[in-house]
A = this chain, B = another copy of it.
């Protein structure tokens, strides 16, 4: 029963980052939580930031899997991309790690955290971009720049989910999904 020290470290760091944030967790703390000498951490990760990056890339995988689960082949592109984005927003809201990192990014501006959040955003947009490309190839939507389209979809979702509720009462999942369809798919023009 050889214990996987690498995994112990990642788990401990995830727990600590979730509870206290990136800056406020020390490597000593991670080592203690993982029941491992501090030096051991550095045999797997060359520094604290790399440890965060590992955790972020696991998070990205988890988010992708969660989004993938909500999509179904027989549904339209609109329905699927809407489900995926809605699921990703939910994911963000229910995971302490994403909440904490988002907060740390805005409130403290920790560079490593900003880098990693940017990476996560890029990964999401890249993921959506692939869905847009597939839909375009299938002729389900108009020809457009897939990268910009994915970017706009993501930004619209963030705006409706997060920015709107800074000054108004928050929108329900159904309202958001309806607005997403109206603005990006059917459009405001008549007929």
Q: Which residues of A contact B (CB under 8 A)?
A: 78, 118, 122, 139-142, 144, 147-149, 151-152, 155-156, 159-160, 163-164, 167-168, 179, 182-190
Considering the chains assembled together, what is the distance between the CA atoms of A39 and B84 in angstroms?
Answer: 59
CB distance from A38 to the nearest CB of B (A): 34
A142→B183 contact, CB < 8 A = no
Q: Please measure, in the bound complex, the distance between the C-alpha atom of A148 and the C-alpha atom of B183, giving whole angstroms.
A: 10
Cα-based distance from A140 to B189 in the complex (angstroms): 7
Chain B contacts of A186 at CB under 8 A?
Answer: 142, 187, 189
**Residue numbers in B under 8 Å from A149 (CB-CB):** 183, 188
Indicate if the CB atoms of B179 and A185 lie closer than 8 Å. no
Q: Check if B190 sits within 8 Å of A187, measured CB to CB.
A: no
Q: For residue A163, which residues in chain B have a CB less than 8 angstroms away from its CB?
A: 151, 155
